[in-house]
Amino acid sequence: MNNCSSYILCLIHLLVLNGSSRKCWPQIYEGRRKIHFTFTDGSELAEEYDFKSDELIVRKWKRKGTLGGHGRWEMEVGEQHAPVNLDVEGLVESNVNPIFVRKDTKSHYQWRIRNLPYPIANYNVTVKQEDRQIVISTVNKKYYKKFGIPDLDRCSLPLEQAAVEVAHANNTLIISYKKPGTVLDFEKKMMMEIKKLKASKDGDVDCTPS
Amino acid sequence: MAAATAEKVQEIREVTRIERIGAHSHIRGLGLDDALEARQVSQGMVGQVKARKAAGVIMEIIKEGKIAGRGILIAGQPGTGKTAIAMGMAQALGTDTPFTSIAGSEIFSLEMSKTEALTQAFRKSIGVRIKEETEIIEGEIVEVQIDRPATGTGAKVGKLTLKTTEMETIYQLGQKMIESLTKEKAQAGDIVTIDKATGKITKLGRSFTRARDYDAMGAQTKFVQCPEGELQKRKEVVHTVTLHEIDVINSRTQGFLALFSGDTGEIKSEVREQINSKVAEWREEGKAEIVPGVLFVDEVHMLDIECFSFLNRALESDMAPILIMATNRGITRIRGTQYKSPHGIPIDLLDRLVIISTQPYEEKEIKQILKIRCEEEDVEMNDDALTVLTRIGMETSLRYSIQLITAANLVCRKRKGSEVDVDDIKRVYSLFLDESRSTQFLKEYQQEFMFNEMTQEEMETS
């Protein structure tokens, strides 16, 4: 009953009601509950929940490009573990750079930026309500990042500066955003909905998530 | 010390690899004025006034982009500038109009059928202008670091540090990116954009912070502000992709990678049909427009009868590009048949073509071309030598005399001369036989060569 938005909940109902998209039943694998959706426009959504704690570990999207073809997985929550081939990519961010990962807890949306050794006084985290984005800037001009909270966008809830907390420890900058009450309710319902879906046995699925 | 020299040699080798001089690299356009009249000498083109004017008219058709599937045949003797005219057209059309150049024999491959190769060539010549959102990296270069492995061979390792006014990021570079960075001569202080999907690097200019008065810079050096905000941005760009590229992207998973390796294989006809209807849809919605390009088939007599009948049909499609062909054959056998036909092309296809013919060059034209080539190859040559070389060009062939420029320049450099003179030309003329002297030699000594023990029928050369 961690992070799930009303959007996903609506989506589930939509799927069950009119079956406009193909969907795989949850698959339980390596202690994770995996769900995979394919929408009518060809884009895909995959989610992974911890089986015991029901925490959202991974949520990723794969959208079709303008010219067609398969896009690549874009991580909304969780870390990309797929190996990168430097010669195929051409250029890859070096791993000494700050690494930005979203990793939620039950009550907060949370972003962790690793490899940021500077003390906490160096960071400014501000909410830009007009752009619906949170901006991290640094006094020493080494790091800058703009990001939104897709969950809140989908529910069209406002972003509030008061909900943001910043901490820094072990070379990691941690930004937390307190989930609004409505979202928490939705997520609870959503998780129940997911648990109701019949889980298939290991490997016994008609499509391969991720 | 030795290591330093080796380093230097490698560096030089790299530079020359990037800027090589090809047979037609002096061609910059068709050399026409606004009224489509051909200037006698312009943009690397000399003479062939009528053919160039004709090509100019064709250019207008292409630029208008309304007429599909016209065929043009450029016919003429060897060394009369057929390929040069096609190259000139390609240059004049600019980079936004697809121009595919193949040789007739290129389509015979074991990997794909002839018609597949032709279809791919056709589809490479049709562009689609479409708006697409791409991820770009835009920033000022802080540092480029490219390390060669100690052994001298093997993969290079590269690191690129970019910054904006707000942040700084280090990137690791793959081989392709290292190459294009060296090609663009990108250095610290340049503002660049890198298209993440295609790896294309564009230099925007120098950073204002690097504008110091003691730096030597070209007149075109532009100064730009260091970008703000994040390094990686999503931007909508309008660009031209060819139908073939869309085919490949859609034909398999991770498809676009095949474009880099060149290994695209055959593409299913269902995929093509799907793309065609998709493109038609985009056109109706006003999302995309078609940019018909040019397919140039050199040595077209090497195509066989099957290809020709395929071309007959393919030219009728409304998605067909302008097809330009070149041949140096007279009346000869059509490949794959026993029939003879003008240019080795069946009459029914010839009927669908308009034919531009090129004439042999005159003496002063040859002189002019040789002069242009000397400039292109950075060769100083005195007038006497040029006159002698022109004579050689008249008596043997233009190509042969162009070859002699490079050789004579080397001979001149070896004797530490500053200008190629008549003696250098004489020297290389005696060193390298031209085709007619070689034939003469063979006729005289035929008996002493291999496999002449038995008398044989005269070999047919085609």
pLDDT of the residue at B263: 56
Q: Which of B8-22, B316-330, B435-449 has the lowest mean pLDDT?
A: B8-22
Instruction: Determine, for residues B130 and A90 on separate chains, whether the beta-carbon distance falls below 8 Å.
Output: no
pLDDT of the residue at A164: 92
Q: Which of B64-73, B222-231, B266-275, B399-408 has the lowest mean pLDDT?
A: B64-73
Q: Which residues from chain A sit within 8 angstroms of residue B278, using beta carbons?
A: 68
Q: Which of B145-154, B174-183, B305-314 has the lowest mean pLDDT?
A: B145-154
B221/chain A closest Cα distance in angstroms: 26
pLDDT of the residue at B12: 46
Residue A197 reports pLDDT greater than 90: no
User: What is the 3 state secondary structure string of chain B?
Assistant: CHHHHHHHHHHHHHHHHHCCCCCCCCCCCCCECCCCCECCEECCEECCHHHHHHHHHHHHHHHHCCCCCCEEEEEECCCCCHHHHHHHHHHHHCCCCCEEEEEHHHHCCCCCCHHHHHHHHHHHCEEEEEEEEEEEEEEEEEEEEEECCCCCCCCCEEEEEEECCCCEEEEEECHHHHHHHHHHCCCCCEEEEEECCCCCEEEEEEEHHHCCCCCCCCCCCCEECCCCCCCEEEEEEEEEEEHHHHHHHHHCCCCHHHHHHCCCCCCCHHHHHHHHHHHHHHHHHCCEEEEECEEEEECHHHCEHHHHHHHHHHCCCCCCCEEEEEECCCEEECECCCCEEECCCCHHHHCCEEEEEECCCCHHHHHHHHHHHHHHCCCCECHHHHHHHHHHHHHCCHHHHHHHHHHHHHHHHHCCCCCECHHHHHHHHHHCCCHHHHHHHHHHHHHHCCCCCCCCCCCCCC
Q: Which residue of B has its CA nearest to A89?
A: B174
Residue A2 reports pLDDT greater than 80: no
Residue B169 reports pLDDT greater than 80: yes
Q: Please provide the average confidence, as pLDDT, over all residues in chain B.
A: 84
CA distance B128 to A129: 39
Of B59, B57, B29, which Cα lies nearest the Cα of B42? B29
Q: Which residue of B has its CA nearest to A94?
A: B171
Q: In terms of pLDDT, which residue wins out, A143 or B66?
A: A143
pLDDT of the residue at A167: 93
Instruction: Determine, for residues A90 and B257 on separate chains, whether the beta-carbon distance falls below 8 Å.
Output: no
Query: Could you tell me the pLDDT band of residue A135, with boundaries at 50, 70 and 90?
Result: very high
Q: In terms of pLDDT, which residue wins out, B317 or A7?
A: B317
Instruction: Determine, for residues B174 and A86 on separate chains, whether the beta-carbon distance falls below 8 Å.
Output: yes
**Portion of chain B with pLDDT greater than 90, in percent:** 25
CA distance A153 to A151: 5
ipTM over 0.90: no
Most confident of A3-7, A202-206, B162-166: B162-166
Q: Which residue of A has its CA nearest to B240?
A: A67
Average pLDDT estimate for A193-197: 74
Average pLDDT estimate for B330-338: 91
pLDDT of the residue at B191: 92
Find all residues with CB under 8 Å of B275, minimum gap 6, and list them: A68, B243, B246, B247, B250
Bridge pairing between strands A172-178 and A108-114: antiparallel
- What number of CA atoms fall less than 13 Å from residue A190's CA on the CB side? 25
CA distance A27 to A210: 12
pLDDT in tens, A42-78: 778 888 888 888 888 888 888 877 777 666 788 889 8
Q: What is the rounded (10 degree) CA torsion for B443, B447, B450, B455?
A: 100
Is the Cα dihedral B119, B256, B269, A64 positive or negative?
Answer: negative
Q: Which residues from chain A sit within 8 angstroms of residue B163, using beta carbons?
A: 141
pLDDT of the residue at A69: 66
pLDDT of the residue at B34: 85
Check if B229 contacts A (Cβ < 8 Å): yes
Query: Taking a C-beta distance cutoff of 8 angstroms, is the pair A57, A32 a contact?
Result: yes
pLDDT of the residue at A79: 85
Residue A13 reports pLDDT greater than 50: no
Q: In terms of pLDDT, which residue wins out, B327 or B195?
A: B327
Residue B443 reports pLDDT greater than 60: yes
Residue B333 reports pLDDT greater than 90: yes
pLDDT in tens, A75-100: 889 887 777 777 777 788 888 889 99
pLDDT of the residue at A145: 92
Residue B260 reports pLDDT greater than 60: no
Residue A111 reports pLDDT greater than 90: yes
**Portion of chain B with pLDDT greater than 70, in percent:** 89
Q: In terms of pLDDT, which residue wins out, B424 or B220?
A: B424
Q: Which of A96, A144, A145, A210 is the best mutation test for B, with the most CBs of B within 10 A? A: A144
Instruction: Determine, for residues A146 and B159 on separate chains, whether the beta-carbon distance falls below 8 Å.
Output: no
**A·B CB contacts under 8 A:** 87
Q: Which residues from chain A sit within 8 angstroms of residue B159, using beta carbons?
A: 94
Instruction: Determine, for residues B172 and A67 on separate chains, whether the beta-carbon distance falls below 8 Å.
Output: no
pLDDT in tens, B58-67: 888 888 877 7
Q: Which residues from chain A sit within 8 angstroms of residue B139, using beta carbons?
A: none
Average pLDDT estimate for B70-96: 87
Q: Please provide the average confidence, as pLDDT, over all residues in chain A.
A: 78
A205/chain B closest Cα distance in angstroms: 21
Check if B273 contacts A (Cβ < 8 Å): no
Residue B242 reports pLDDT greater than 60: yes
Check if B250 contacts A (Cβ < 8 Å): yes
CA distance B221 to A60: 44
CA distance A79 to B40: 65
User: What pTM value is reported for the model?
Assistant: 0.71
Q: Which residues of A touch B (CB under 8 A)?
A: 65-70, 86-94, 96-97, 137-138, 141-146
pLDDT in tens, B413-432: 998 988 998 999 999 999 99
pLDDT in tens, B97-133: 888 999 988 888 877 888 888 999 999 999 999 888 8
Residue B304 reports pLDDT greater than 80: yes
Residue A171 reports pLDDT greater than 50: yes
Average pLDDT estimate for B19-25: 75
Q: Which residue of B has its CA nearest to A144?
A: B167
Q: Which residues from chain B sit within 8 angstroms of residue A138, using beta carbons?
A: 166-167
